A and B are shown apart, each in its own frame.
Chain A
Amino acid sequence: MSFEPRILGIACNWCTYTGADLAGTTRLHYPQNVRVVRVMCSSRINPSFIFRAFQLGADGVLVGGCHPGDCHYNTGNLYARRRLATTKKILEFAGLEPGRLRVEWISASEGNKFAEVVEAFTTQIKNLGPQTKLKIPQ
């Protein structure tokens, strides 16, 4: 059986989550490996959420927010951008392969971008194989 990764998605309510809904209303098909948690703003994402996701066995984490400058809360995604860039470095320092955390800015009108990103990221994670570095054995 081929490897089907489990990917955690964290999407902001106003842009990426709505964009993901739009992918649905326009019936764009994409792989079902990403399970999305909805937060109000990407700035809500604490780096510990991402570490925890990998501990729980996520093979990849996809974070989606509004485009910089378009944040529903004005500046939230700018904080998220900086924080997630640092998180990425820490994850790599901890030994995780680069490319397991992806941050994308997807607006409410970019349903096709959401589908494309999920497709590409799923393929990428499939190529990386199962994530074992940070996973806590059950």
Chain B
Amino acid sequence: MSRIGVFVCHCGLNIAKTVRVSELAEFAATLPDVVIARDYKFMCSTPGQEMIQHDIKEYNLDRVIVTACSPLMHEKTFRKVIENAGLNQYLLTIVNIREQVSWVTSDVEEGTAKSKALLNGAVYRARLLAPLTSRVIDVNPDVMVIGAGIAGIQAALELANTGKKVYLVEKNSTIGGHMAQFDKTFPTLDCSACILTPKMDNVLQHKNITMLTYCEVTEVKGYVGNFDITIKQKARYVDHSKCNACLACTEKCPGKGVSEWDESLVKRKAIYIPFPQAVPQKPIIDKNSCTFFLKGKCRLCEKVCEQKAIDFEQQDTFIDVKVGAIIVAIGFDLMDTKPLVQYGYGKYPGVYNSLEVERLFNSAGPTAGKVTLRDGKEPKSIAILHCIGSRDKNYSEHCSRVCCMYSLKFAHLFKEKTSADVYQLYIDMRAAGKGYEEFYNRLSEENVKFIRGKGARVTESTEEPGRLIVEAEDTITSKFMKIPVDMVVLSPAIVPRAESRDIARLLNLSTDKQGFFMERHPKLAPLSTMSEGIFIAGVCQGPKDIPDTVAQALGAAAEALTIVVNDKMELEATTAMVNPASCCGCQNCVRVCPYGAPAFNYEKRVSEINEALCKGCGLCASVCPSSAIIARHFTNDQILAEMEGLMEF
């Protein structure tokens, strides 16, 4: 016999408009073991919480059912509420009548009937709940940050400054990310390198940061507070512990590879640093363009290296680290615009994508900051096409958020560096951000031609070879236009990194429709993920500008700190256990568990579960032929009772 209190929340009108809440509370009062049932406007507010705590004492309740929003929203809140009133937190049951009832129907009859069934199920289940004790575990104080763009750098520095040790893992041979490729940043037009390179140097110098460049995370085991991570150090063929960064090798190297850093606009050497301000300033050898690796002879770099740092025999190595929390900040890719054949990218040399143009503007770029076409001539007319692949249901439905602003920045820089006519072809001008509308207004006065209409097609002029014709409809005048230009700049959709799928699987992250990492809650937990102890920051969560990225990085650092600042933390008590009296010793559980939590005790001839390794999925419980395994909080009895309750109404 238990004493259950049921608390029905109106959630303002969110629930109350489609569920007759007072009728639900009256219904609850008639259910077995329910001693008090109430409804209230906002159960999560202070008066609501106090009401629950008061009733626990007043009616000597030993179970509490809160009929409100999703458990994913407020289960933790209400667990704390009942715990503070002296009840074990696992004696709480949440009935989700908002996300899964009132928000998915407009029919009050249906909504109320379904709520009753769900509540009945909850009462049946609640009667069988047992108090559980949370596990307390040690927390490793270190943090790993994956991705060393501006988000990763900022998060790493922030954590390192608090005294925490940070492993900063970067797949490229330099840190810096996309921001290091830019020349100017909107809307202030301040120099990207001037604000980023000092931070890159801070990372290099910081005693608390272990910078792992040219590395990839290959395995993640463990759980919040205790992650065991394997990192692959890809072979650089240069021993960085010996290299003194004289870069004599890069001068002598006859090999030619395509510069990834310069977006394939120019060639680079086979032994190289990506750009002069790279961190670390030490080169790597690209096997695919190195003459020795391709033809078996050369070794010029080895000859000029006084430090004897060149090592053609070098292999990939693996590094094991342990951390308490992980921040993922792997950034973005630009959508490949080649499949959008109507824009002629990859076909006409005069068509560029936005990152290529960023490199053209950059004084450390392939043209030393001069705007010239691939044939070396200065363009006399330029069209910038917004929303290529974004805001487009055929490709990426989302708005990539930064393109309007960087396209305006391009227009300004084109005006500054050339005497070209500049056209902006846009669907809508989105200038939501501090100083952005002002920047747009400023550009309107810079003699840039704004055409409200999406660029539809780029073709080559039949009269003037090499000239491009941009076709579009000006939606303000409803006129079809053909604009002859020398250069076309595409602003493609920002899409998740090609490897984000692998990272998601490695870390158990969910991805949204577009493939960006999903946050635990879009508003209240935008940096947390479904995997506890793993946080996300920057564009890998969704397109955003540099200020927002930096803000997220700082937030993620603070989130990670809330975990690693403590020596110990509590983990969910919802693990599995074996009842040795009924274990038949088949070892099914040992075979299926992905975490190796169950082990067979050969002396006692029964399986035993190591609670520290158990994540509480319940798989073992359902493969146990003798029902000897109990999945705490999700026992067979509890689930079956809930089902019975649900099916009664």
Binding site for B on A (CB under 8 A): 6, 8, 13-15, 17-18, 20-21, 23-25, 27-30, 32, 35-41, 43-46, 48-49, 52-53, 56-58, 69-70, 72-76, 79, 83, 107-110, 115
Contacts and interface: CB of A to CB of B under 8 A. Distances in A.
Contacts of B621: 44, 46
Contacts of B623: 79
Nearest to A75: B594
A8 B72 contact: no
B574 interface: yes
Interface stretch (B105-113, B195-203, B310-318, B339-347): B105-113
B127 to A, nearest CB: 16
A49 B619 contact: no
Given A20-B100, A69-B505, A43 B617 contact: yes
Nearest to B118: A35
A32 B511 contact: no
B510 A14 contact: yes
Contacts of B510: 14-15, 18, 70, 107-109
B240 to A, nearest CB: 35
B104 A28 contact: yes
B114 A43 contact: no
B639 A8 contact: no
B100 A57 contact: no
Contacts of B592: 75, 79
Q: Which 4 A-B pairs have the closest CB atoms?
A: A24-B99, A44-B618, A24-B103, A43-B619
A115 B104 contact: yes
A110 B515 CA distance: 12
A109 B118 contact: no
Contact of B622 (A6, A21, A32, A46): A46
Q: Which of A44, A76, A79, A110 has the most CB of B within 10 A?
A: A44
Nearest to B624: A46
B587 to A, nearest CB: 15
Nearest to A13: B72
A13 B634 CA distance: 12
Given A25-B103, A32-B101, A32-B111, A37 B646 contact: yes
B530 A29 contact: no
B640 A41 contact: no
A38 B618 contact: no
Contacts of B513: 109-110
B644 to A, nearest CB: 6
Given A37-B646, A40-B618, A109-B512, A32 B98 contact: no
A25 B101 CA distance: 11
Given A37-B639, A73-B594, A44 B622 contact: yes
A49 B643 CA distance: 8
Interface in B19-75: 70-72
Contacts of A36: 96, 100
Contacts of B530: 14, 18, 72, 108
B117 interface: yes
A116 to B, nearest CB: 12
